[in-house]
Amino acid sequence: MSNSKLTRRGLIKTGAVAGAAGLTLPTYLRADAHAGYLNAPQGDTVTLGFNVPQSGPYADEGADELRAYELAVEHLNGGGDGGMMNTFTSKALQGNGILGKKVEYVTGDTQTKSDAARASAKSMIEKDGAVMITGGSSSGVAVAVQALCQEAGVIFMAGLTHSNDTTGKDRRANGFRHFFNSYMSGAALAPVLKNAYGSDRKAYHLTADYNWGYTTEEAVKSSTEAMGWETVAAVKTPLTQTDFSSYIAPVLQSGADTLVLNHYGGNMVNSLTNAVQFGLRDKQVNGKDFQIIVPLYSRLMAKGAGANVKGIFGSTNWHWSLTDEGSKAFVQSFGTKYGFPPSQAAHTCYVQALLYADACERAGTFNPCGVVEALEGFEFDGMGNGKTLYRADDHQCFKDVLVVKGKENPTSEFDLLEIVEVTPVEQVTYAPDHPQFAGGSLGTCNPGA
Amino acid sequence: MDAIILQILNGLDKGSAYALIALGLTLIFGTLGVVNFAHGALFMIGAFCAVTLSRILTLSHTVIDETQKDFLGNPLKVDVPYIYDIFGQATGDAIIDWAVPISILFAIPVMVGIGFAMERGLIKHFYKRPHADQILVTFGLAIVLQEIIKYFYGANPIPTPAPDAFRGSFDFGAMLGFDPNTIIYPYWRLVYFAFAAVIIGAVFAFLQFTTFGMVVRAGMADRETVGLLGINIDKRFTIMFGIAAAVAGLAGVMYTPINSPNYHMGMDFLVLSFVVVVVGGMGSLSGAVLAGFLLGILESFASMAIVLETLPGINQIIIYLVAIIILLTRPRGLMGRKGVMEE
C-alpha cells in the first residue's frame, strides 16, 4: 500500500524541478534522444572541436594544427581554392559544409597534458556541443582524449600521435588515426639504414621515458636487429631532461657505433645538439663512421636543432616537398594563406578533418556509429600519401611512409629535410594482432545517446 | 676509472650553471633578504639576449634569386644580412659566427637594467613582507616573463651555436693515457666551465677587495649598523641586485650553445638552483658555489647506465635525496651561517 498523495501543486513543483534540471544538464547528459546520438547538430550548423596544444612546449606545432583546421573549415564551407578537396578521390564533399550544415568550430588547449586535454575536450563536448574532437601533438594526450570520446560517444580523429598504443592496446571504436606509428617508422627505416650503414652495427638507444618512447624503441630495435644490428644498450631518459651530456658521454665507451635517439620535441633538439657537441659524428668506432638516427622527424623540431640535423636519417608522415597532386594542392592553399609551407602535423590534421566530413556525407549522418562504418575499410587517394586504407581492424591508416634525411644545404628555414625514400605501404603493413599492438580491442562504437 | 673522470667532467659544466644561478640567488637573499623565484627567468632572459643579438646581426634585406624557386614555385627570396653590406661577407660571417661571445657585451647592460627595474619597480615593495609573499610575487613574475618571451620568440627551441672554433670535442682520454674516445668533452663546455670560474672569481674579488664590496658585506652582516654610519646601503643593495641579474644573464648567454634556448629553460634550472642554495647554506656565497658543483657532479653520476640498472630512477631524485641527507645532518647546509632564516 502506498502512502503517496500526488497533489496538483506537488505535480507542478516536481515538473518544474525536473524541467530546470533538464535545462541545466550538460549537453552530454541530455542527448537528443530522437536523433539517437550525442550532440546531434541543431539548426543549420555543425560544431567540431579542435583540441590542440596552444600553450606549453608544443604550442608552435599546435598553432600549425589550428591553421590547418581553419583552412579545412574554409574549404568545407566552400571558401578558398578547395585545397585537397579537388584531389581527394571521394567526391562526396561539395563545399557546402557537411550534410548541408555550415561547419563551425571551437578550440581547446591540450597544454600537452592528458588531464588538461581531457578537460578541454569534455568542455567542448558538453558545453559547446561538439560532435567530433580532433587534434593533439602527443600520444599520451591522444590515448587519454580517445578514451574520453569513446565514453562520451563522439568521434575522435587523432592528430599527431606516433605511439603504437593509440591504435594498439589503447585503440577505441570511436577513434581513428591517420598519422603513421612507431612500427611503421622502424619498418621503413631499417632497409634504408642497411643500405647506408650496412648490417653490422652496434646501436645504443636513448629513449624518452614514456609511452611513445617505449614503443618507438621496441619498433626500431626489432627492425634493426632483424637485419643484423646488435643493440648494445637502451637507456631511458627523463622526459624533463634538458641536458643529455651525462647520457651521451658513455655512448662511445659502450662500443656502440650508432646512436638512436628515441626522442621527440625539445628532448630531440637537446639530445641531438648534445650528441653533435660531443663530436660523436666525427668519431670512428669499430672501423666505421659513428652515426646518429632520429626515428621520428618533425620539420618544426628539426628547425630547433639547426645544422645538427644535417645528414641524419629519420622518418616522417608527410613533407611539403612531395610532388603528388594532393600535396601540391595543400601546400598551395596553406602557403598562400599563411606564407610558409605546412608541417606534417598540419597535414594530418587537415586530412583528418576532411576525412571526417567525407565520412559523414557518405554515411548521410553525423551519428558516430554511421561515421565509424563509413571510415572502416575506406580506401582513398589524393591526400598526399598515395593510396591509403583506413583499416577496419584497428582504425589505423595504412599508406606510404617517408624516410628523410637532414638536408646538407638548405635553401630556406623550411628546407631542412630531404626525402630519401618513399617506403611503399606493403613494407610497413602488419597484422592486426602483431605483438607490438597486442592487448587492445576496439569494442563497439558509442553514439552517446 | 675513465667513466668516473667522464662524469666528473660532465658534472662540472652542469655544476657551473647551478653555481652561477645559485650565486646570484644568494647575493640577492644575502643583501636584500628576498627569496627571488624569478631568478631562473633572468637566466632565461640572458639566453634570449644571445638569441636577440644573433637576430640583430642577421637582420637582412631580400634579394630575388630568379634561378631558384620557393615552395610555391615563385622566384626564391634570399635574405642577405645588412652586415654583409657593411663589413663584407667574410667579416660579416665571422661576426655572426661569434654572436654568442659578443652577446656578453650586449647582455650585461640589458641584464643590469632589467635587474634595476625589477628591484625598484616590484621587489622593493615586498622587503618587509613575509617570505611566502616574496615567493608568490617573484614566481608570478617569472611566469609573466616566460610568457612574454614565448609570445615574441615562440615555444620551440632556437638554435644558437657556438663559434666554429669551439665546435667538436677534446679527447681527454688520449691525453691521460686511456684509449681514444673513452673520455671526450666538448670544447664549448670547457669554455663554459672556465667562464663560470672567472665570473665566480670576479664576484668574490669584487666583494672581497673593493670598498663597495666591503660595505656590502658589512651590510649583509649588520644592515642597521651600516645604515647608522650614514651609508646608503639600500642603493648598494640595488646595485647588487643588478649584478646578480647580470651574473644569471651571463650564465644564460653562454649556455645557449649547450642547449638551444626556449622560454621554459629558466624554470628547468630554478628549483634545482634553490636546492643548491639550501644545501650550500642560505646566504653563503661559497656554499652556493660548492653545492652547485657537488650536486652537478652527483647528478651526472646518477645518470650512468650502471647506476640506473642498480637503482632505476635515481637520476631523477638524487639531488633531492642528497639535500634531505645534508639538511638532516647539517640543518644550516654545508656552509650556512647561524641566524639566517632561523627567526
- How confident is the model at residue A316, as a pLDDT? 96
> CB–CB of A412 and B76 under 8 A?
yes
Flag whether B113 is in a domain: yes
A383 touches chain B (CB under 8 A): no
In a mutational test of the B interface, the residue from A54, A204, A243 whose CB has the highest number of chain B CBs within 10 Å is A243
Residue A130 neighbours by CB under 8 Å, 6+ apart = A39, A47, A48, A49, A106, A124, A154
Flag whether B115 is in a domain: yes
Distance from CA of A133 to the nearest CA of B (A): 24
> CB–CB of B159 and A273 under 8 A?
yes
The three cell numbers of residue A154 are 563522439
Residue numbers of A between 160 and 179 with CB closer than 8 Å to B? none
CA–CA separation, B178 and A336 (whole Å)? 58
A414 touches chain B (CB under 8 A): yes
Q: Mean pLDDT over residues B161-169, rounded?
A: 90
Instruction: Give percent of chain B with pLDDT exceeding 90.
Output: 43
Dihedrals phi, psi of A411, to nearest 5 degrees = -95, -15
CA–CA separation, B101 and B170 (whole Å)? 20
Q: pLDDT tens digits, residue range B68-103?
A: 888 888 888 888 999 999 999 999 999 999 999 999
The band of B179, judged by pLDDT with boundaries at 50, 70 and 90, is confident
A199 touches chain B (CB under 8 A): no
Flag whether B169 is in a domain: yes
Q: What's the domain range around B240? A: 2-329
Beta bridge partners of A202: A230
- How confident is the model at residue B131, as a pLDDT? 84
Chain A residue numbers touching B184 (CB-CB < 8 A): 249, 252, 278-279, 283
Pick from A235, A252, A269: which is nearest to B182 by CB? A252
- How confident is the model at residue A1, as a pLDDT? 36
Pick from B2, B154, B257: which is nearest to A253 by CB? B2
Q: pLDDT tens digits, residue range A45-101?
A: 999 999 999 987 788 899 999 999 999 999 999 999 999 999 999 999 999 999 999
The band of A303, judged by pLDDT with boundaries at 50, 70 and 90, is confident
Q: Mean pLDDT over residues A222-232, rounded?
A: 96
- How confident is the model at residue B124, as a pLDDT? 85
- For residue B3, the chain A residue with the least C-alpha distance is A250
B180 pLDDT above the threshold of 80: no
Q: Identify the CA nearest to A297 among candidates A278, A274, A280, A272.
A: A272
A17 pLDDT above the threshold of 70: no
Dihedrals phi, psi of A51, to nearest 5 degrees = -105, 95
B170 pLDDT above the threshold of 60: yes
> CB–CB of B259 and A270 under 8 A?
yes
A28 pLDDT above the threshold of 70: no
- How confident is the model at residue A18, as a pLDDT? 44
- How confident is the model at residue A32, as a pLDDT? 42
Pick from B10, B155, B181: which is nearest to A246 by CB? B10
Flag whether B337 is in a domain: no
Pick from B71, B161, B264: which is nearest to A307 by CB? B161
Flag whether B215 is in a domain: yes
Flag whether B336 is in a domain: no
Chain A residue numbers touching B181 (CB-CB < 8 A): 252-253, 283, 285
Chain A residue numbers touching B301 (CB-CB < 8 A): 246
- How confident is the model at residue A153, as a pLDDT? 97
Distance from CA of A269 to the nearest CA of B (A): 7
Pick from A238, A242, A304: which is nearest to B315 by CB? A238
Flag whether B339 is in a domain: no
Flag whether B338 is in a domain: no
Tally the domains of chain B: 1
> CB–CB of A243 and B264 under 8 A?
no
Q: pLDDT tens digits, residue range A254-272?
A: 889 999 999 998 889 889 9
Q: pLDDT tens digits, residue range B107-158?
A: 999 999 999 999 999 988 888 888 889 889 999 999 999 999 999 998 888 9
- How confident is the model at residue A380, as a pLDDT? 98
**For chain A, what is the HEC assignment?**
CCCCCCCHHHHHHHHHHHHHHHHHCCHHHCCECCCCECCCCCCCEEEEEEEECCCCCCHHHHHHHHHHHHHHHHHHCCCCCCHHHHCCCCCCCCCCCECCEEEEEEEEECCCCHHHHHHHHHHHHHCCCCCEEEECCCHHHHHHHHHHHHHHCCEEEECCCCCHHHHCCCCCCCEEECCCCHHHHHHHHHHHHHHHHCCCCEEEEEEECCHHHHHHHHHHHHHHHHCCCEEEEEEEECCCCCCCHHHHHHHHHCCCCEEEEECCCHHHHHHHHHHHHCCHHHCEECCEECEEEEEECCHHHHHHHHHHHECCEEEECCCCCCCCHHHHHHHHHHHHHHCCCCCHHHHHHHHHHHHHHHHHHHHCCCCHHHHHHHHCCEEECCCCCCCEEECCCCCEEECCEEEEEECCCCCCCCCCEEEEEEECHHHHCCCCCCHHHCCCCCCCCCCCC
Considering A248-252, A283-287, A343-347, the range whose residues carry the highest mean pLDDT is A343-347
Q: Identify the CA nearest to B142 among candidates B316, B232, B263, B283.
A: B263
- How confident is the model at residue A26, as a pLDDT? 43
Q: Say what the pTM is.
A: 0.84
The three cell numbers of residue A139 are 600520444
- For residue A54, the chain B residue with the least C-alpha distance is B155
A396 pLDDT above the threshold of 80: yes
